[in-house]
Structure 1
Amino acid sequence: MNHFEVDRRARQQLFSFFMSIKGALCAVLLGVAVMASAGQAEAQSYRFSSVTIEGNQRIEPSTILSYAGIARNETVSAGELNDAYQRILASGLFEQAEVVPQGNRLVIRVTEYPTINRIAFEGNRKLKDEDLEEFIKSRVRQVYSPTQAERDAATLAEAYAQNGRVSARITPRVIRRSDNRVDLVFEVFEGSKIEVQRIGFVGNRAYSDRRLRRVIESKQTGLLRALIERDTFVEDRLLFDKQVLTDFYNSRGYVDFRVTGTNAELARERDAYFVSFNVQEGQQFRFGEISTVSDMNGVEAEPYHDTLKIRPGVVYSPTLVENSIARMERLAIKNGVDFLRVDPRITRNDRDLTLDVEFVLTRGPRIFIERIDVEGNTTTLDRVIRRQFDVVEGDPFNPRAIRQAADRIRALRFFSDVNVNAREGSRPDQVVIETDVEETTTGSVSVGVSFSTNSGPGIQLGFSERNFIGRGQALTAQIAASADIINYNLGFVEPAFLGRDVAFGLDFALQETDSDNSLFDTTIGTFRPSLTFPVSENGRLGVFYNATYEDMTDYTGVSGILQSEINQGALWTSAVGYEFSYDTRRTGLNPNAGVLLSFGQEFAGLGGDNEYIKSTARLVGQTTVMNEDVTLRAILEGGAIEFSNGQNSRFLNRFNSQIIRGFEPNGIGPSENGELLGGDYYAALKFEADFPLGLPDEYGITGGAFYDIGSIWGIDKRNATGPVSSSGFNDRHVIGFSVFWSSPFGPLRMNFSNAIKKEPGDFEQTFDLTVKTEF
């Protein structure tokens, strides 16, 4: 390396050293300048001897000064001026604001938000303007706020989403008017409803998807879905579905059942949801040992244990336990034992899948009901709600009784929402029961159409009110007409007659037929007051009085029996009677099976033209099999009418309806010269099975099979002019197949039948179609 190269490198190093010193010096000088300018700005202050406000029209200057927070002759910094500007904008009253210091004068310029002149909705079809107005907080003659308008748009979009239109978009627009006013317009794009394309279940073994889909409220897309609403996706409905699934399994002994998750997946085209429920069923448990012990002095356990209806081996259900506790507590009230509480202690036996239940009678806390408050009812009278409580002010407080009262209030169907809560009263040993309700519509006007192969097309006009003038009474009126029959009906029910659990009813009916059986016309008028009341947990008894007017005219046949009955003219019947029913189909020990028993008698002869005793009975037993997919049902029914004092029955008194399928109404029984007369006795035994056909659930189509045996017989032949056939008991046998369709225009039923045993002169009916709808 020569000396020229060394000299060059030395010069480069020296140059780099001086450049680094220059950079550091520049950085220091720049920092000093910034600090100096910051200190100068921070040190800058203002003092205003006057404040001028410009641009305000509605807002008072004092109000604006209060937001600014700057007083005259007060020293303020530049930062404090900026804070004043921010406070004025944050008031939400101004679109724009300026805070301008001009010497010793401060100028505040504002541009006020306009007032709302009108609120309108455009593009909405499914939800009315008045419905949408209830969701928004922007109001006419209030100051327009863009932030509030955006919130209102989001709220409206959520309302549409709750109605299944999750693709709805709401855009707020303003139209400027004079005098600083605007029209606020919400442009609505509703979009189409997003339906539930498929509902599936994961983890279920005991019950099929088809059975579980019948339990939940959400439904899959059905045929002609434009007329069906329950297949629309509503997210909140899934929470309800989870609860009803849990109740369904728990009532069938699956105490460990859980819904581990729900998944609602939107299709790629964003036009449908696929909903799935992930469930854990667990094992089915049954009742094991049932016992009752008492921890209360002077209270024996045995009488309370005797009220129990559950037995070992029965499938466990929380409802059965609750019902047992309710029976024990009612017995305590009857025996004058206050504050008795029943504590069910359950012991789990995993080895044999049983649950031992020990009912422990204990003394509850001494808490009394101070008062019962009712709020939210504008039409319904307070007493209609209060009578659902079995307790009054001053009675011992029983949480279970309050829950049951809340359930009874909801069952009235007068209210869209019911909340019953207990809070501490004026003293620690007293509670106040708060009942908050939200009323809903209880009246309806309906127009209906029907079709039957027996009576042809028909039309119905009806009015009903479940809560007549807020008294909890029911009022109905209906006119139904077909080609040959017209019915007029007027009904009234007071469910709490004289403040008791007794229903008082009044019914008026008039039926006119025009050659209903192609032989004569009839006119039947009925006046029927009645009282109905419970006589046991599952039994009800009704007593009634019947006043009936009956007339038969324009006879065109050749039967001597019918002609003699026509010649009697119009007759009056005055009768009293009773009806008893016992029904365990919903309240029995087995949720899959139940029995209905009904029996009634009518005694005529308290005045009027007829004297007879008419008796009818009906027994229904049903159960579900094959994991509740198939329903089996057996029906046994019969009736008899016996006239006294030498009187004969008339066609209108005798049994002549369609007691079994496969034959027309008045299609079997005694006949004279080919004219069917009805009979004084009838009996029928029917076996039915309802089952799925393997079609998709959304079609709403199921099938059924039946086997019917029945007969109508017995008639007085004294006035006969020709031979009378089938006057004795002659059983008919019919087999058939049914198709049920829950169609959008009403439940449709088709029966295809074949009479495998019949009598000469019977009128067969191999096909029967009935459909009825209201709109």
Structure 2
Amino acid sequence: MRKILPLSVTLSSLLLSQTVTSLEYKGLLHLSEDVATEISGIHIGDEFDINKIDESLKSFYRQGYFSDIWVSATESGGLVYNFKEKSTISKLEMNGYSSDDEQEALFISVGLRKGDLYDIKKVENAKKRLIKKIESEGYYDTVVEVNAEPKTDSIALSFEVNKGEKIYIQNINFAGADHIDVDELEDALANQEEDALGWLPGLHSGVAHMDQLGYDSFRAKDVYMKNGYLDATVSEPLMRVDSGSYLADVSYQVSEGEQYRIKSIEIVGLVDGLDKDEILDELRLLDGKVFNVDKLRKDMGYIQEQVANLGYAYAKVAPNFNKNEADKTVDIQFSVRAGNKVTINDVIISGNYSTKDRVIRRDIFLAPGDIFNLTDLKDSKSALGRRGYFENIDIEQQRVDESNINLLVKVKETATGSIQAGGGYGSYQGFMLNASLSDRNILGSGMSASLGFDLSKVSTNYSLSINNPRVWDSEYSLGMSIYKNEYEYSTYQHDTFGVSSNIGKRLTRHLYGSLGYSYSENDIDSNGTSTAIISSVFSNEDLNYAKSTISVGLSYDSTDDFFVPREGIILGGNVGYSGVGGDEEFMAYSAKFGLYYGVEDYIDYDLIFRYKLRAKWLQETGHISGPEKLFLGGVSSVRGYEPYSIAPTRRCEEDENCEYKYLGGMKSVVNTIEASIPLSTAAKMRLAFFADYGMIGETNFDEIKRAGYGVSLEWYSPMGPINLVFARAKNPGELDKTSNFEFTMGRKF
């Protein structure tokens, strides 16, 4: 309620005085008198103006602190502002929706905090946000009542929530959808029918998400645009809900139109320094192929990146379409507006309370004075993300003028020191348990250290390591570790205690070189078997030996994703010499190669081909113990065979307790071909058909040849990666041990 100038008998005195002789403010708590005077705009000595006083009241109301304000006048010509401030919210509680420990965060998300001033409009807005949040979880007819209980100078608010019932989508109908499979359309929607096993994480339970319903028609239209139907229209969804069962039917009206193919592609407005033909060769859209809006977006991004890499930070690419209805083709013209070349004025880092600026800056590939480069900007963000120091990373471009920008590197740090525990399961190793005490960013220096252990049915491993990835902010790394491993084979146990160190150098953004040294002491125990069996497998000098190894390696990785790469290669090689002290004297060579190639751009289906090769070769220069030799088999080798079960063997002739013994190989190679297809995009499941072919021998690679084939279910679940391998040995030997199923959890695919 606003009350303006109840002056009564004092009106005449004010009118006679013509000026304000004094100002007084009563009831102020949140504002000082000086601030109040500035807000009112009225000062002592000003002429009396009733309109100006009215405006001052409006200004005070706009501050949001007051529920009532009125002005009175003194006989001497002074003005007295009387304020009744709003009560503060002293208590917030919610019943019927969230637990007590979640309520504070929930109230903050809808715009209320304890200690806020009570404002009816603000509370009503919070109520609406809460209802919208609950409805987004699939509840129908949600009711929220707010009770306000006055206290002394405060208000206690209680939100009483009746969530209503969840709506389950029973049927989805696309009327008029003739050329696109209905399942493909539904897969694009946020609201879908219940999947088989829909209760599993990542699958659709059928619960309606009302906040997303209005956008689903656009998602369905996007499917048509990916399949060349440029004129397709999809109506807003019509949902019919049965008030008794809360089951819903959703229907869409579709007009598909005609499917268009690409007739020609042209780029206009390219800047000097770019070859138009080279860019056209890299585009995903191809002449004669069906138009695909997803590929169009990627091509626009590619062209923009090529232009931006020459310093044009604000380059824009716009597509123009010319549809030819007669032959159902479309001409596409990409129009480029480059703008001005831009130079980096400054790199400003914020949000790093622990991590030192220099640690962040060394992973930013743009510095003051550099010409802007979009690829460098993206690589900088990726490099910072790989460190694991930050929860969020954002690099903004702040325009200084037409030719200069600042890079604002905003990070939100995450806890890098932690005590972690986890586990997994393997069909051979059984249950696995691991725990570690680590810090990836000691005192903000970028150095890391860890102390950990891994336990399983057949192995026990302990390790302590420390690593500096950028010694003195250089391109060099330095690491050291100490470890103890115990591994149980079927007839013996192999115990190892060792130390290692390595120094590496980043040669390019994708190429890394390393030099390492390791020393280990090894013991072979009978593990419950007779000494005769052990001696038949290993010679006496193999039972206790020391190994001292120096190695050098190179690795290259240009893949585009950690778990499911669709393009790029992995290439690595390592040469090690054991014989710098110790009992062992041999050379060890290893190489790996991985090629990943997705063909979705050509066949419009997310099919990925993978080829992997792993090769090892040992060269004896003095002595090599049996446990150091090579064995194949298992989920990381030739699938369809038990781990370490493929190797040159020899039958035992003198010991009746020994049927045969593994000699181990000196040369081995494993080839793998895989074809991976999506099983459920929403659940992050893929199906990989594979064929493994391995060779191992003492003198030649091809002395023993084994093959396996099968299918692997790869699921990146909320609990981590899970891999189910169903394999079959193609040509097992007489002594081979086969395995048709292997299961790993907590390991990379």
TM-score by length of 1: 0.67
CA–CA distance in structure 1, aligned partners of residues 213 and 500 of structure 2: 43
State the Cα deviation string for residues 508-529 of structure 1 (Å, max 9, x = none).
443223xx22322222234343
Mapped to 1, the partners of 2:543 and 2:517 lie a distance apart of 23
User: Are residue 416 (structure 1) and residue 380 (structure 2) matched?
Assistant: no
- Equivalent residue, structure 1, for 2:352: 377
2:674 match: 688
Does structure 1 retain, via aligned residues, the 8 Å contact 2:305–2:374? no
- Contact 1:742-1:748 within 8 A present in 2 as well: yes
Match 2:91 to one of 102, 109, 118 = 118
Which 5+ residue runs of structure 2 have no aligned equivalent?
1-7, 15-21, 287-297, 653-659
State the partner residue of 1:527: 499
Is 1:487 paired with 2:464?
A: no
Change (3 A) 1:559 1:120: same
Contact 1:711 1:730 in 2 (8 A): yes
1:661 equivalenced with 2:639 (yes/no):
yes
Aligned residue for 1:571? 545
Letter paired with 1:664? E
* 1:402-440 residue CA offsets vs partner (Å, 9 max, x unmatched): 465456556656243514113226xx7654333334445
Name the aligned partner's letter for residue 554 of structure 1.
S
Secondary structure at the aligned position of 1:651 is classed as: helix
Counterparts of 1:578-617 in structure 2, within 5 Å, are 578-586=552-560, 594-617=568-591
Q: How does 1:87-486 map to 2 (within 5 A)?
A: 113-122=86-95, 123-125=97-99, 128-132=102-106, 134-135=108-109, 140=114, 143-157=117-131, 171-178=145-152, 180-188=153-161, 223=197, 225=199, 227-228=201-202, 233=209, 268=241, 283=261, 318=299, 365=341, 368-397=343-372, 401-402=376-377, 405-406=380-381, 408-409=383-384, 414-416=390-392, 418-424=394-400, 430-440=404-414, 446-462=420-436, 467-473=441-447, 475=449, 477-486=451-460
- 1:119 is displaced (CA, Å) by 3.6
Given that 2:714 and 2:721 are in contact with CA atoms closer than 8 Å, whether structure 1 keeps it comes out as: yes
How many equivalent pairs are there? 683
State the shift of 1:55 in Å: 11
Counterpart of 2:620, as a letter, is F
SS in 1 for 2:704: coil
Q: In 2, Cα distance between the equivalents of 1:277 and 1:577?
A: 66
Residue 501 to residue 219, structure 1, CA distance change in 2 (3 Å): farther
SS in 2 for 1:641: strand
State the 1:454 CA deviation: 1.2
Q: 2:665 corresponds to which residue?
A: 679
1:61–1:679 Cα change, 3 Å: closer
Mapped to 1, the partners of 2:72 and 2:283 lie a distance apart of 88
Counterpart CA distance in 1 for 2:709 and 2:475 is 44
User: 1:459 is aligned with what amino acid?
Assistant: L
C-alpha change, 1:389 and 1:175, in structure 2 (3 Å) is same
Between Structure 1 and Structure 2, whose CA radius of gyration is higher? 1
State the distance in 2 between where 1:639 and 1:47 align.
104
Superposed displacement of residue 345, structure 1: 13
Farther off after superposition, 468-477 or 257-266: 257-266
Question: Is 1:711 the counterpart of 2:695 in the alignment?
Answer: yes
**Contact 1:736 1:752 (8 Å CA) reproduced:** yes
Report the secondary structure of 2:548's partner residue. Answer: strand
SS of corresponding position for 1:731: strand
- Is 1:544 the counterpart of 2:516 in the alignment? yes
Cα distance in 1, alignment partners of residues 84 and 566 from structure 2:
72
Which one scores higher on RCO, CA 8 angstroms, separation ≥ 6? 1
Q: What is the aligned counterpart of 1:730 among 698, 701, 704? A: 704
Residue matched to 1:21 = none
Is 1:207–1:628's contact at 8 Å kept on the other side of the alignment? no
Secondary structure of the residue that 1:644 maps to in structure 2?
strand
1:259–1:277 contact (8 Å) kept in structure 2: no
Which of 725, 743, 749 is the matching residue for 1:769?
Answer: 743
Instruction: Report the equivalent of 1:641.
Output: 618
Report the equivalent of 2:470: 496
SS at match of 1:118: strand
Please give the alpha-carbon distance, in whole angstroms, between the structure 2 residues aligned to 1:215 and 1:541.
46
Rounded to whole Å, the distance in 2 between the matches of 1:315 and 1:68 is: 64
1:575-620 deviation per Cα after TM superposition (whole angstroms, max 9, x unaligned): 2223334445539xxx965544333222222233322111122333
Tell me which amino acid in the other structure corresponds to 2:406: V
Cα shift at 1:660? 0.7
Name the aligned partner's letter for residue 378 of structure 1.
Y
* Corresponding residue for residue 627 of structure 2: 651
Distance 1:148 1:46, change over 3 A: same
Structure 1: runs of 5+ lacking an equivalent: 1-43, 296-300, 330-337, 716-725
SS of the residue corresponding to residue 757 of structure 1 reads: coil
Separation in 2, partners of 1:466, 1:129: 33
- Match for 1:554 among 520, 526, 530? 526
1:571, distance to aligned residue in structure 2 (A): 3.0
Percent identity of paired positions between Structure 1 and Structure 2: 18
- Separation in structure 1 between the aligned mates of residue 694 and residue 108 of structure 2, nearest angstrom: 60
Deviation at 1:126, TM superposition (A): 9.5
Shift of 1:664: 0.6
In 1, are the aligned partners of 2:608 and 2:676 still within 8 Å (CA)? yes
1:501 Cα offset (Å): 4.5
Distance 1:553 1:657 in 2: 23
Moved more, 400-409 or 567-576: 400-409
Offset of residue 535 of structure 1: 4.5
Aligned partners of 1:468 and 1:474 also within 8 Å: yes
Asked if the contact 2:424–2:432 (Cα under 8 Å) also holds between the matched residues in 1, the reply is yes
Q: Quick one: structure 1 residues 698 and 49, their matched pair in 2 at CA, closer, same or farther if it must change by over 3 Å?
A: same
User: Superposed, which structure 2 residues align to 1:21-100 within 5 Å?
Assistant: 47=11
* Counterpart contact for 1:197–1:272, Cα < 8 Å: yes
Once residues 253 and 354 of structure 2 are traced to their aligned partners in structure 1, the CA distance between those partners, rounded to angstroms, is 41
Counterparts of 2:412 and 2:503 in 1: how far apart (Å)?
31
- Does the CA contact (< 8 Å) of 2:502 and 2:517 recur in 1? yes
Report if the CA contact (8 A) 2:395-2:407 is conserved: no
SS of 1:498's partner is helix
